[in-house]
A and B are shown apart, each in its own frame.
Chain A
């Protein structure tokens, strides 16, 4: 069965960086785009960007341009999201997600990681 398993809780100081991992299993990793979204406590979702593991192409939300880097390791079927220059308002749950349909970003996201809580506090 398809699974996305994320790394654990992170606590960082303002100005630091965090790198969240998302390990995929149960499907051919290179066939499906991985999206990253975040959800601040009690808030709705905010799309951060996506990466195509097939060719490494990325598309970042304008808000995060210059501060986020998404990458994949196809040898281990893992995706990564690094966010730099952390601020207190970056405190949120961060999720990776996979679409229903291969090679597209518009099909609805049928599989999600369990979420990684990143807390930014001095």
Chain B
């Protein structure tokens, strides 16, 4: 299976801050990389698919980039509703998920 890492594992930021989360894979996956947000007690919500495409209905402050083994999720201006845990997922082969990045508001 393709292994995935995320950094940081957690972060605290102010409303309005720019936040960047990194995901790395153990082998190249082209752009078969997707980002999800999960809030406590809820199912995940797809934010970005195919590394850089914004899912319908997701605010434009979310963006993704990368290909191969290194990927980034950026929130340009953090909002109070953006708290939660963010996961990357690869679907180039048997799906695997990153361990998550917990985002808290300062």
Contact = CB atoms under 8 A, between A and B. Distances in A.
A joins B in a complex = yes
Interface of A: 35, 37, 44-47, 61, 95, 97, 100, 105-110, 112-115
B71 interface: no
Given A61-B94, A112-B43, 5 more contacts: A45-B44, A47-B96, A95-B43, A97-B43, A105-B95
B55 A110 contact: yes
B65 to A, nearest CB: 16
13 contacts: A37-B97, A44-B97, A47-B94, A95-B43, A100-B49, A105-B91, A106-B92, A107-B49, A107-B91, A109-B34, A109-B46, A112-B44, A113-B43
Q: Is the interface of B mostly helix, strand, loop or mixed?
A: loop
Contacts, number: 53
Contacts of A46: 97
A106 B87 contact: no
Interface residues of B, number: 21
B97 A108 contact: no
A106 B32 contact: yes
B40 to A, nearest CB: 11
A108 B98 contact: no
Interface of B: 32, 34, 42-46, 49-50, 55, 87, 89, 91-92, 94-100
Contact of A44 (B43, B46, B87, B91): B87
B50 A108 contact: yes
B7 to A, nearest CB: 14
Nearest to B30: A106
Given A35-B95, A44-B100, A108 B34 contact: yes
Contacts of B50: 107-108
A37 B55 CA distance: 21
Nearest to B93: A106
